[in-house]
Chain A
Amino acid sequence: MDISFKQVNYTYQPNTPFEHHALRNLSFTISSGSFVAIVGHTGSGKSTLIQHLNGLLRPTGGEVSIGPYQLMPGKKVKDIKVLREKVGVVFQYPEHQLFDETVKKDIAFGPKNFGVDYEEIEKRIPPILDAVQLPEELLERSPFDLSGGQMRRVAIAGVLAMDPSVLVLDEPTAGLDPRGQKEMMDMFYQLHNAKGLTTILVTHSMEDALQYADHVIIMDHGTKYMEGTPEDLFVQKDKLQAVQLDLPEIIQFLRKIEDKFQVSLPYEGQTISELGIQLKEHLKGDVTDE
């Protein structure tokens, strides 16, 4: 589903001393099937933005379109339930939302609420377990007996069980150890490709944005600051620093190498081990620079 924001405003507690403009005149479009990263420093409006994607919040100004659904101020959305089935949101620390007796019941809760029949749910569960890499033996266990990483996978399985076409991920790897982080992101990337999802990733990690996203939206003070491909955005050091964002570390380091050694060494998606070989060749004492 294509998503567009047209001059969206959102104000928390308007006309009170706590009034806070979380989104201001925000416009962008996300085309169906793309993998978009939304980055921005703490408090830039990212979380408010994603709550508009499934109608948890309605704009106080402007218009949000998600496929055929429109969110506008003062107007109730007719098919909000359908919208919420189509747009799966994985919130921060989704394992905090687990509640049912067994893993299976917890996963089935979402689709059941949306009126999906029992047989269909039964059919959906095995491939989802496979996707989130949970063994089938866990289905009858209490979700609360699982490790943190497994609990998070169960919660994600619950979102996937609704068979959404848009997947919104709010810092999905927060709190996981490095291996868990990598496994989790690889899993989402695989799902994105296998199911042709539109994936929207809210992240602090420029590394993840660089590695997985094909489009990046940078937020600042509730509005769009920049957007483009990660390769284009993540070389603009001064502009990023102005909104308290860093370049991905590999690009930072390449810049420092270029400055110190007066060589040209652009970022071309090289791995760390490829970079090691490049450095060896470029910096060898007896080789003249390009």
Chain B
Amino acid sequence: MKKECIEFRNVSFRYSEEGPWVLKNVSFRIPADEGVAIIGHNGSGKSTIAKLINGLLFADEGEVVVLGTPVTEETIWEVRKKVGMVFQNPDNQFVGTTVRDDVAFGLENRGVDRSQMITAIDNSLRAVGMIDYMLHEPHRLSGGQKQRVAIASVLAISPQIIILDEATAMLDPKGRKEIMHTVNEVKDQQGLSLLTITHDLNEITQADRVIVMSKGEVWLEATPREVFAREKELQEIGLDIPFVAKLANELGKVDVPISQQPLNHEELLEELWTYHSNK
């Protein structure tokens, strides 16, 4: 039986008592070893979800359970040991004077011994392509480089769950792809659960499941393919689908048969090959 990793049970949240509900009766379950993406427009409540998971915020109604532990004031430290989180703006998460010290910070806090620490720092910096910057000052790095270091710091403490909260928004497209590749690789190797919070639908193709948020509610839970088929509706809630999905939908409109919603260029080329071969 699959262990539940993260579960939201009828969670509602607002930032102040008078304020509007940011999350309204949100329920979902993320089993361990599953890659889930949460997408939604700006203000849809997706980042609030991340903050509820590691106890930066607490639900006003309902319950958030992480690896069997309900998230409360008493359990946050236990929960945070297991949940590594990378935020959008890396400037807010640096403490060390060098890249190496910064990655070491989390390890020191957990009392990891020196030899292990050196290996962990080395491996994680290598994974994000920042090994050459070990002795640089983090605040002098460019935005994208900083974010890679932040991701390395999280990888170094080998958490059970990694949450990327729009963590690639500041990277260039290539860096973005590399980070997603790296994170997915680590996820598969170490059996981690990965929760990606994003509004870039190019990032959800690798997810097993997608939760689409709109105005504080779960709007849809589906596979990436199912999500990409709903172009119009997604655009109405401020999102957009990748180029390949758009082109496939346009081809469908002019009666070029597409047997399944393609996720990448290769799948679409295959569909076109079939069309080309059948008269």
Contact = CB atoms under 8 A, between A and B. Distances in A.
A80 to B, nearest CB: 25
A137 B96 CA distance: 44
Contacts of B276: 261, 283-285
B265 A253 contact: yes
Contact of B174 (A171, A245, A256): A245
A275 B247 CA distance: 8
Given A279-B256, A285-B279, A180 B42 contact: yes
A42 B170 CA distance: 10
A246 B251 contact: no
Interface string A72-101: 000000000000000000001100000000
A260 interface: yes
Interface in A141-172: 147-149, 171
A117 interface: no
B278 interface: yes
Given A252-B265, A280-B254, A179 B239 contact: yes
A245 B173 CA distance: 8
Contacts of B144: 42-43
Contacts of A41: 172, 174-175
B43 A148 contact: yes
Contacts of B169: 174-175
Interface residues on B, range: 35 or more
Contacts of A206: 173
Interface residues of A, number: 46
Given A273-B250, A279-B256, A256 B265 contact: yes
A244 B175 CA distance: 9
A256 B175 contact: no
A178 interface: yes
B89 interface: yes
Contacts of B170: 92, 171, 174-175
A249 interface: yes
B61 interface: no
B145 interface: yes
Contact of A177 (B42, B250, B251): B42
Interface in B237-279: 238-240, 243-244, 246-247, 250-251, 253-256, 265, 268-269, 272-273, 275-279
Contacts of A92: 143, 170
Contacts of A261: 272-273, 276
Contact of B269 (A147, A178, A257): A257
A174 B273 CA distance: 37
Interface in A241-273: 244-246, 249-250, 252-253, 256-257, 260-261, 272-273
A204 interface: yes
Given A178-B199, A276-B250, A285 B275 contact: yes
Contacts of B250: 272-273, 275-276
B142 interface: yes
Nearest to A176: B42
Interface string A215-242: 0000000000000000000000000000
B203 interface: no
9 contacts: A18-B140, A41-B172, A42-B143, A147-B43, A175-B42, A180-B41, A276-B247, A276-B256, A279-B247
A279 B253 CA distance: 12
Contacts of A18: 136-137, 140
A276 B253 contact: yes
A27 B246 CA distance: 40
A286 interface: yes
B264 to A, nearest CB: 10
Nearest to A93: B89
Contacts of A12: 140
Given A180-B238, A253-B265, A284-B276, 18 more contacts: A12-B140, A18-B140, A41-B172, A148-B42, A175-B166, A177-B42, A178-B239, A204-B171, A206-B173, A244-B172, A244-B174, A245-B174, A252-B265, A261-B273, A275-B247, A275-B250, A279-B272, A280-B256
